[in-house]
């Protein structure tokens, strides 16, 4: 008997997550250039054929990790009350504020990937695609939230400010030795960037 569609979708999502987590861990330990797709597949407990059903390249395998709470970020904006700028500031705080050791470990695990962007053009392309896709989704959410259906430019500018604030905050944090909370943390830097890019 075939699996229910919901169960299949959950299993596919779990497999995708497992591959992404394995890729991120290997990249962090060995460096992107030293890791092969076959090693990632082996670490994730899947065949190489299965790996390529989910991702075209080893760099693309870390896209789910680099999304860094994008789904939660979009959900917060879509359900927010009040004006969009305030909702974006609140969402930055909620998504990037690290609460507890597990969250800190997860954030610190992303740091080597972000540092590798400088030297790996394919990984950098994945990062830019992740950010572009998020920007497009946020633009639609903002346009609907603010009633700006006929003013896409205005919605897009705010979406760009929001997305770039998070991107820049994470990149600057990764290049430093700052911790995951307090001064120099991803949340603090992203809030600062958003205030500069979208002043009140």
Among 113, 108, 127, 120, smallest CA distance to 167 is for 127
The tokens for 80 are 């927010």
Q: How far apart are CA 10 and CA 55, in angstroms?
A: 17
| Mean pLDDT to the nearest integer, 131-155 | 90
- Per this entry, what is the length of the chain? 200
| E strand or H helix at 171 | helix 152-175
Instruction: Note whether 138 and 162 are within 8 A (CB).
Output: yes
Give pTM, 2 decimals.
0.89
The tokens for 53 are 């059903």
**pLDDT beyond 70 at 181:** yes
What confidence tens digit (pLDDT) does each residue in 88-129 have? Answer: 999 999 999 999 999 899 899 899 999 999 999 999 999 999
| Other residues' Cβ atoms within 10 Å of the Cβ of residue 14 | 10
Among 115, 119, 126, 125, smallest CA distance to 174 is for 115
**Domains of the chain (ranges, CATH numbers):** 5-61 (1.10.10.60), 67-197 (1.10.357.10)
Share of the chain above pLDDT 70, in %: 98
**pLDDT beyond 90 at 170:** yes
């Amino acid at each position: 008997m075939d699996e229910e569609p919901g169960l299949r979708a959950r299993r596919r999502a779990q497999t995708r997550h497992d591959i992404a987590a394995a890729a991120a861990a290997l990249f962090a330990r060995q460096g992107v250039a030293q890791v092969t797709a076959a090693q990632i597949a082996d670490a994730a407990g899947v065949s190489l054929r299965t790996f390529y059903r989910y991702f075209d390249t080893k760099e693309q395998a870390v896209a789910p990790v680099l999304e860094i709470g994008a789904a939660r970020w979009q959900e917060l904006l879509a359900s927010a009350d009040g004006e969009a700028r305030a909702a974006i500031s609140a969402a930055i705080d909620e998504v990037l504020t690290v609460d507890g050791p597990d969250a800190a470990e997860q954030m610190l695990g992303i740091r080597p990937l972000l540092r590798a962007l400088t030297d790996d053009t394919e990984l950098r392309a994945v990062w830019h695609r992740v950010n572009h896709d998020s920007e497009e989704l946020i633009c639609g959410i903002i346009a609907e939230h603010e009633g700006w259906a006929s003013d896409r430019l205005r919605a897009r500018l705010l979406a760009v400010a929001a997305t770039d604030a998070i991107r820049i905050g994470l990149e600057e944090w990764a290049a430093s030795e700052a911790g995951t909370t307090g001064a120099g943390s991803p949340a603090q830097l992203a809030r600062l960037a958003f205030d500069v890019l979208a002043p009140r």
